[in-house]
């Protein structure tokens, strides 16, 4: 592409270079489309292949199953997409989910639960655990962002520390015991309206909100700028520190939402819950074309990435493939996706 533009930037008054521009434009349009949708083609091909071998895959029940399975790490990956576009990383997503989830669950047990965490408070309306989960996610996310923005330590280190700290608090909070017997209101979050699973509905709403934020607000545009060139963003008058804090705070809120879906669906929260979920969410974002070099990434990509992982897990199970193989394939897909992605962004010489 480099040379093409150079030609256009020359005088451009010779016929030869004009012709070049035309052919280049055509080629440009095709490669652009391929670039933009290649990962969606991959998903489509996977769906087609799996459903040819196993038609049951396409039943509405199974499709909702795939979507429901994608919902939890899918919601997490929405937050992580913002972080990774800004050239950051968050390893604490799974731990924050567990901590937010377990505290929310402790406030959402039925009145006569056998091992009630707060025996004296009776049954609280659902809004309490919701606010608590969002609050914990948001506050701990803000701490992540604050550490990164104001002390200058790498995001990897800050969130690595947060991972262990949050997990420690989670264990301490319940003394290592799980919390179960949640109110029907709470478990409704993991249930269905008609055939539509609530986790899918929540995932859908979060996708729309995050998409609007990333594409239609100054905050969203600043995220790309910070990831694209943090120095240039600073000079352009972007309040870099404030925005970094907001990015991690928003991601924390997403983990809070994911925690509620998790608790509702499983019906209980174990202190070791969601271990390693951050890696699945990071994988979804990465497969979806968000570059760890910063400045590049889309919400659509993150959603497709999450679906690819979910379709893969579901499909391979349907096809009777051993769970060990599923992991191996998953790993290969993550690496493969990044190889394709790097090629796509490489400047042609």
Partner 1 sequence: MTEDKNILEMRNIVKTFPGVQALKGVDLNVKYGEIHALLGENGAGKSTLVKCLIGIYQKTSGEIVFESECIDNYTTADALRMGISMIHQELSPVEHRSIMENIWLGREPKTKLGFVDHNKMYEITKEVLKRIDLDEDPKTLMADLSVAKIQMIEIAKAISYNAKLIIMDEPTSALTNKEIDQLFTIMRKLKEEGKSIIYISHKLEEIFTICDTITVYRDGEYIGTERVSDIDTPTLIKMMVGRNVNELYPKVKCDTGDIKLEVDNLTSEGAFRDVSFKVRKGEILGIAGLVGAGRTELIETLFGLRKKTYGQIKIDGKEVDVRTPQEAKGKKMALLTEDRRLNGIFPMLTVFQNITIANLFKYENKFRLFNHKEAIRDVNEYVESIQIKTPSIYQRMENLSGGNQQKVLVARWLMTSPEILIMDEPTRGIDVGAKAEIYKLISTLAEQGKSVILVSSELPEVMRMSDTIMVMYEGRVAGILNNSKDLTQEEIMHYATGQIMKDKAEYM
> What is the CA 309 to chain-centroid distance, rounded?
12
CB of 16 to partner 1, least distance (A): 7
CB of 234 to partner 1, least distance (A): 6
Task: Report the run of H or E that residue 197 belongs to, with start and end.
Answer: strand 196-197
**For residue 59, what is the DSSP state?**
S
Q: Which is nearer to partner 1, 10 or 125 (CB)?
A: 10
CB of 203 to partner 1, least distance (A): 22
CB of 147 to partner 1, least distance (A): 21
Q: Which is nearer to partner 1, 7 or 330 (CB)?
A: 7
- Residue (of 162, 192, 170, 163) closest to 104 by Cα position: 170
Q: Which is nearer to partner 1, 34 or 216 (CB)?
A: 216
Calpha distance 193→201 (Å, rounded): 9
Contact indicator for 210, 137 with CB cutoff of 8 Å: no
Q: Which is nearer to partner 1, 199 or 294 (CB)?
A: 294
Q: Which is nearer to partner 1, 1 or 44 (CB)?
A: 1
CB of 12 to partner 1, least distance (A): 8
- List interacting residues with partner 1 (CB under 8 A): 1-14, 16-17, 20-21, 23-25, 27-28, 212, 215-218, 220-222, 224-225, 228-229, 231-239, 291, 293-296, 345, 347-349
**Cβ-count burial 214-239 (b if 16+ within 10 Å, e if not):** beeeeebebbbbbbbebeebeeeebe
Calpha distance 146→143 (Å, rounded): 5
């Amino acid at each position: 592409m480099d040379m093409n533009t150079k030609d256009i930037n020359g005088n451009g008054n010779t016929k030869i270079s004009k012709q070049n521009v035309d052919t280049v434009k055509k080629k440009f349009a095709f490669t652009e489309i391929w670039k933009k949708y290649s990962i969606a083609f991959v998903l489509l091909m996977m769906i087609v292949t799996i459903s040819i071998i196993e038609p049951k895959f396409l039943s509405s029940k199974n499709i909702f199953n795939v979507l429901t399975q994608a919902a939890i790490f899918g919601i997490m990956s929405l937050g992580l997409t913002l972080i990774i576009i800004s050239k950051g990383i968050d390893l604490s997503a799974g731990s924050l989910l567990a901590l937010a989830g377990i505290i929310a669950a402790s406030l959402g047990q039925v009145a006569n639960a056998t091992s009630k965490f707060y025996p004296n408070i009776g049954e609280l309306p659902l809004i309490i655990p919701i606010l608590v989960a969002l609050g914990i996610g948001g506050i701990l996310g803000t701490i992540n962002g604050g550490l990164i923005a104001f002390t200058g330590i790498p995001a990897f280190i800050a969130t690595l520390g947060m991972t262990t700290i949050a997990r420690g608090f989670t264990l301490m909070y319940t003394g290592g015991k799980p919390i179960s017997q949640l109110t029907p209101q709470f478990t409704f979050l993991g249930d269905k309206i008609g055939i539509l699973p609530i986790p899918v509905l929540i995932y859908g709403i979060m996708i729309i909100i995050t998409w609007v934020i990333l594409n239609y607000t100054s905050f969203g545009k600043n995220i790309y700028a910070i990831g694209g060139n943090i120095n240039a963003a600073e000079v352009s008058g972007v309040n870099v520190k404030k925005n970094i804090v907001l990015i991690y705070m928003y991601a924390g809120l997403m983990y809070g939402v994911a925690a509620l879906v998790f608790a509702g669906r499983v019906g209980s929260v174990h202190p070791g819950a969601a271990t390693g979920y951050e890696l699945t969410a990071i994988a979804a974002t990465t497969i979806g074309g968000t570059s760890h070099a910063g400045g590049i990434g889309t919400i659509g990509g993150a959603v497709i990435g999450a679906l690819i992982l979910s379709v893969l897990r579901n499909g391979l199970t349907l096809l009777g493939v051993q769970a060990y193989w599923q992991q191996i394939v998953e790993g290969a897909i993550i690496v493969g996706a990044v190889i394709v992605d790097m090629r796509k962004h490489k400047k042609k010489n």
